[in-house]
Structure 1
Amino acid sequence: MTHTIYQQAPLPFMGQKRKFVKAFRQILRGYPDDVTIVDLFGGSGLLSHVAKREKPNATVVYNDFDNYQWRIATIPRTNALLARIREVTDSLPRGKVIRHPHRDRILEIIAEEEQCGFVDYITLSPSLLFSMKYANNMDELVKQTFYNTVRRNDYCADGYLDGLTIVHKDYKALFAEYRDKPNVLFLVDPPYLSTEVGTYTMSWRLADYLDVLTVLQGHDYVYFTSNKSQIIELCEWIGRSRINRNPFECAHRVEVNTTMNYNSNYTDIMLYRKNENDEQILQPAG
């Protein structure tokens, strides 16, 4: 049976790894046919799809934490919705701003569809919003300027997830299931640090990114990051400095909230600690 081989995810997804497909295939060829491949942060499923096509006899576990499977299942509804929007925009110039009353009519159509069921706003976004802008719901969509970039053809994902073992789990729980098994390759593609993660269904702090690194210890992995995250530089520094304890341990913490304007604020933090073996206490001048 012939399977379609996708070179990119069939539906829009921020951070899909389509530019790495060729190099990823080359890595997979160094593994036995019966390898187990665990995609801890499955995202669009593109890495899992490529892995299963390259290694048909492998067990490929796709952790669909962002429910991409459901978006694929609703493609017929999405195509029907886009067809209705196309009726409004076909007479308008491509790539230009959609103004009233056409914009109002599009919002009415989307609202009608939402009353009947699920609207895939992420898939809808590239057809209505400026490049690389996404909306997750109607509240976010109505705040955006609309452009006539409506997709001309229907979406299709036939066979995209065929053969995959699909789970919906916290990556730590999934890793625990496979960490002690032999012949396992972990795919580790967390949301990038210092990068927009607005379309993901998880909220991450620095500690969360660092926790992911524990997966890499003593296991085969393919790990993705970017130069914005500076994770690699941080790990290289830790290796050089050989710090074996938290330098802020037992330090006191003082926080001051600062407001820049009506929608921007941040917290300044001061940490202080006096080592017990200090011989001198500094007094303020006076």
Structure 2
Amino acid sequence: MEKEYLSAPLPFVGQKRMFATQFKEVLKQYPDDAIFVDLFGGSGLLSHIAKHEKPKATVVYNDFDNYRERLVNIDRTNALLADLRVLTKDSPRHKLITGKVREAILSRIAEEEKSGFVDYITVSSSLLFSMKYAMSLDGLRKQSLYNNIRKSGYSAEGYLDGLEIVSCDYKELFARYKDVPNVVFLVDPPYLCTDVDTYHMSWGLSDYLDVLSVLCGTTFVYFTSNKSSIIELCEWMGNHKTIGNPFQNAVKLEFNAHMNYNASYTDMMLYNKVGISGCKTAV
């Protein structure tokens, strides 16, 4: 693996590019031959960085959202965006697209859809405001379009090299590795109070809380944010007294993220050291 990506090669909601440098530092404490299991693989960025930093390690990337399909179709996406650049050559950058140009754009996307595959998440990033995504042509038709079209093509050369790729429920993957020595679980579930329409799953409070059981008695790197429903979380922890606080001995790193000019939140990364757990053992 030669090139290192510090952000996902294609847009993905929730990718950990802001934590890339800190994550690399955290990885240094784990053995070079560790087994990293990325339970919620998402864009694969954590898996990619882990393999790049620890080339002798085994890295299991759970591509539950089929990010690979988007990577395989990068050439198609680049060709589509190239055509959209031509259609918008006389449209001001970052301004509203209306009239014949708008209809021409939607017609070109419809044509691409008929011939096979459209990466609507990537297309959305070029036609909608930041943090807004449409997952279909009908979804795009309902939105105001803006000329935010990327000026160059995308590339993902070598991005998934060396990874063991699976696609399954995180609980199934955890069960495979929970008793295997030298395992570090990378745990980056969808955040509570966050739009999950771009994920191939539904996600609620109980799902979020269930993930905490993965942290007990294991070595992990866990991601969350201050948008979580902390009161409900504490109530749940109170009803599971034999588990205790999985973060008791964990180190917390924070990063202030801005969604737009008037909205922000705090991303968090927590990690523990090999052999140290913050959870109680049931009697």
TM-score bracket, normalised by the shorter chain, equals 0.7 to 0.9
1:243 Cα offset (Å) = 6.2
User: 1:49, 1:160 within 8 Å by CA — same for their partners in 2?
Assistant: yes
CA distance in 1, matches of 2:239, 2:47: 36
Q: How does 1:1-286 map to 2 (within 5 A)?
A: 3-231=2-230, 234-235=232-233, 241=238
CA distance in 2, matches of 1:172, 1:44: 19
1:173 Cα offset (Å) = 0.4
CA distance in 1, matches of 2:6, 2:233: 32
Q: Could you tell me which amino acid in structure 2 is paired with residue 196 of structure 1? A: D
For the pair shown, the structure with the greater C-alpha radius of gyration is 1
In the superposition, relative to structure 1, how do residues 243 and 33 fare at CA in structure 2: closer, same or farther (>3 Å)? closer
1:185 Cα offset (Å) = 0.3
1:110-129, Cα deviation, whole Å (9 max, x unpaired): 00010000100001001111
Aligned-pair identity (%) = 61
1:177-197, Cα deviation, whole Å (9 max, x unpaired): 000000000011110011121
CA distance in 2, matches of 1:220, 1:126: 36
CA distance in 2, matches of 1:132, 1:236: 30
CA distance in 1, matches of 2:33, 2:82: 43
**Corresponding residue of 2:258:** none
CA distance in 1, matches of 2:206, 2:105: 42
CA distance in 2, matches of 1:109, 1:243: 54
* Partner-residue secondary structure (3-state), 1:159: coil
Question: Which region of structure 1 is more displaced relative to structure 2, 152-161 or 198-207?
Answer: 198-207
In the superposition, relative to structure 1, how do residues 221 and 243 fare at CA in structure 2: closer, same or farther (>3 Å)? closer
CA distance in 2, matches of 1:123, 1:3: 25
TM score, norm. by length of structure 1: 0.81
User: 2:209, 2:233 within 8 Å by CA — same for their partners in 1?
Assistant: no
* Partner-residue secondary structure (3-state), 1:94: coil
1:68 Cα offset (Å) = 0.5
1:24-78, Cα deviation, whole Å (9 max, x unpaired): 1111100111100000000010000000000000000000001111100000000
1:188-215, Cα deviation, whole Å (9 max, x unpaired): 1110011121211100121111111110
1:235 Cα offset (Å) = 4.9
TM score, norm. by length of structure 2: 0.82
CA distance in 1, matches of 2:29, 2:233: 27
User: 2:24, 2:53 within 8 Å by CA — same for their partners in 1?
Assistant: yes
Unpaired runs of 5+ residues, structure 1, are: 246-286
Question: Which region of structure 1 is more displaced relative to structure 2, 21-30 or 58-67?
Answer: 21-30
User: 1:37, 1:184 within 8 Å by CA — same for their partners in 2?
Assistant: yes
User: 1:17, 1:46 within 8 Å by CA — same for their partners in 2?
Assistant: yes
**Corresponding residue of 1:264:** none
**Corresponding residue of 2:280:** none
CA distance in 2, matches of 1:64, 1:52: 15
